[in-house]
Structure 1
Amino acid sequence: MISTTLVLLLCVNVGKALASCYPDLERRPTFFASLKTSQQTLATIKDIVKFDDAKINIGGGYDSSTGIFTAPRNGIYVFTGVIMSNGNNAVHFQLNKNDQFYTSGFAVNSNYGAQTVNSLAELKTGDKVYIKHRSSTSENVRGSHSSNCSGCLFSK
């Protein structure tokens, strides 16, 4: 959770402060979304986590109906994902860029184990980033805003 907070502080609050000093500084694509429903079952290795409650979506790059962020412009982006297992099961997940593995995480099978992944990725306009299931065994992601994902344009 601290990682997500830091990303948002850097991308939104610092961005606002810089914009007041440099009026020509534009707002950078930024999103933060959490899983509002109580849980999402990931049944197949192809299932994408659909963070259904977008609190911030500057630039409109995040689609809460698909769970996919589409880069609105070129640059280096920073992403953070927090996945919590629901109950006494593990969750294997990975962050993908354009349907290719980028990094992975594993929320342990303890009572509500959680894992955070952080990554930088160089994206071109239209590139897609999302968190998906990494196992062929059905697993449950805890919702109720315990699992979330965020990203923002870090550098042009």
Structure 2
Amino acid sequence: MKYICTSILFITCISIVSVFGGEDCCRKIGKAKAALLEAIDTLQRTNRLLGESSAIPSNKVAFHARLTPYVTLGSAQTVIFDHVITNIGKAYNQHTGHFTAPFNGIYVFACTFLQTRGTGVHLQMVNNSSEISKGYGTSGSGEAGVMTAVIYLQKGDVVKVRHYPGKGSQTIHGHWSFFTGYLL
């Protein structure tokens, strides 16, 4: 880009000098050339900085996933939110339903879920095997359950949503149930 602009400026300078002549004209064109080259350098530096800042830093972690099918859950069964909408850092696995912490840090998790008509749903959010939150969607029509947790995780810790142990089979509604998490 720099060389194309310089070449165009040089050709313009020769054309003007040959038509109008004079030293004063060449001096003005020389100043214009210097200003143009400085502007090109500034634009290139700005583009490099913008390019670097638009990339997502490697220590960012966030995911948002939705459950697509209706799922009838057995005791302590993991809910697999299979449709990943966002997965920055690739820490959520849509095949297992597990979020694995890639870094030590404070994480925020939320789960919103809807039961099918006529049945309640008991869910539990666990870190490794310890409960960190629980929620219940009542048996009324269109009643949602919600769970949230803010927790310090160490690299390799696993957070998942599962059916509450010992609650018998209950059905969770597809398309209206989400699991979200991110590193603060």
TM-score class, shorter: 0.7 to 0.9
SS state of the match for residue 120, structure 1?
strand
Moved over 6 A (4+): none
TM-score by length of 2: 0.67
Q: 1:54 aligns with which of 78, 84, 93?
A: 84
- For residues 150 and 123 of structure 1, what CA distance do their matches in structure 2 show? 15
Q: Identify the residue that residue 72 of structure 1 maps to in structure 2.
A: 102
Which of the two has greater helix per residue? 2
Which of the two has greater strand per residue? 1
Q: Identify the residue that residue 169 of structure 2 maps to in structure 1.
A: 138
Aligned-residue offset at 1:110: 0.7
Aligned-residue offset at 1:136: 2.8
Unaligned runs of at least 5 residues, structure 2: 1-49
SS state of the match for residue 168, structure 2?
coil
**Structure with bigger gyration radius:** 2
Distance of aligned partners of 1:112 and 1:25 in 2 relative to their CA distance in 1, 3 Å threshold: closer
Aligned residues between the structures? 131
Q: 1:111 aligns with which of 141, 150, 153?
A: 141
Contact 1:80–1:116 under 8 Å retained in 2: yes
Aligned-residue offset at 1:25: 7.9
Q: Identify the residue that residue 63 of structure 2 maps to in structure 1.
A: 31
Instruction: Tell me how large the CA RMSD over aligned residues is.
Output: 1.7
- For residues 25 and 54 of structure 1, what CA distance do their matches in structure 2 show? 18
Q: How does 1:15-26 map to 2 (within 5 A)?
A: 23=53, 26=57
- For residues 41 and 100 of structure 1, what CA distance do their matches in structure 2 show? 23
Question: Higher relative contact order by CA 8 Å / sep ≥ 6: 1 or 2?
Answer: 1
